[in-house]
């Protein structure tokens, strides 16, 4: 018998790194592709977000307080909120892809998914399922430090003594 390792023998850390890399797809595709692309001039300048609020979010929100917040706070400042939404999706996606500040990216992803659940409460089960899955994977990345294997977090942690990098990576 030989002591060769099977090439498909992954440790839990490597499996977590693969999950982290695969999880970047919904965030980056939501930011850059499709009719709901957040990094488009229409959305960034606020008109795309206002259209989404008026056509869908006010009908699917969890309760009247969220509808009131959307119409009284978000719509007048739509360009600021649209920029924050786009920045959040890009930050979470790039964080997961490169394994850089993975815990911070996980917190951003959790907050973004919770907001999605609140405004799309009555949109259907596929919305719930996807957002719950994104919350659970992001929570796993926050708790386990998924960027420490095959990610830039491992380089930052090994080459610096800063406590900030140990917390966010």
Q: Is the distance from CB of 135 to CB of 110 less than 8 angstroms?
A: yes
Q: What is the pLDDT of residue 122?
A: 83
Q: What is the pLDDT of residue 6?
A: 55
What CA–CA distances, in Å, run from 74 to 81, 128, 143, 159?
7, 23, 32, 42
Alpha-carbon radius of gyration of the chain: 19
DSSP string computed for 86-137: HHHHHHHHHHHHHTSSHHHHHHHHHHHHHHHHHHTTTS-HHHHHHHHHHHHH
Q: Per residue in 63-85, is it b (16+ CB within 10 Å) or e — as a string?
A: eeebbeebbeebbeebeebbbeb
Q: What is the pLDDT of residue 5?
A: 61
* pLDDT tops 70 at residue 9: no
Q: Which stretch of DSSP H or E encloses residue 70?
A: none
Q: What is the pLDDT of residue 135?
A: 96
Q: What is the pLDDT of residue 3?
A: 58
Distance CA 27, CA 29 (A): 6
* pLDDT tops 80 at residue 2: no
Q: What is the pLDDT of residue 127?
A: 80
106-164 per-position pLDDT tens digit: 999 999 999 999 998 888 888 888 899 999 999 999 999 888 899 999 998 888 888 88
50-96 per-position pLDDT tens digit: 999 999 888 888 889 999 999 999 999 999 999 999 999 999 999 99
* pLDDT tops 60 at residue 1: no
Q: Whole-prediction pTM value?
A: 0.87
11-49 per-position pLDDT tens digit: 888 999 999 999 999 999 999 998 788 998 989 999 999
The SS3 call for residue 4 is coil
Q: What is the pLDDT of residue 166?
A: 78
């Amino acid at each position: 018998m030989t002591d060769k390792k099977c090439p498909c023998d992954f440790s839990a850390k490597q499996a977590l790194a693969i999950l982290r890399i695969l999880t970047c797809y919904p965030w980056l595709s939501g930011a850059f592709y499709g009719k709901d692309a957040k990094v488009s001039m229409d959305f960034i300048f606020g008109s795309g977000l206002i259209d989404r609020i008026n056509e869908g979010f006010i009908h699917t929100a969890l309760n009247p307080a969220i509808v009131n917040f959307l119409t009284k706070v978000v719509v007048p400042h739509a360009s600021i909120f649209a920029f924050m939404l786009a920045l959040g999706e890009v930050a979470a996606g790039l964080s997961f892809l490169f394994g850089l500040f993975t815990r911070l990216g996980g917190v951003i992803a959790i907050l973004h998914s919770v907001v999605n659940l609140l405004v799309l409460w009555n949109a259907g089960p596929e919305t719930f399922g996807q957002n719950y899955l994104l919350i659970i994977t992001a929570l796993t990345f926050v708790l386990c430090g998924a960027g420490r294997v095959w990610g830039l977090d491992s380089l930052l942690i090994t080459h610096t003594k800063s406590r900030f990098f140990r917390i966010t990576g």
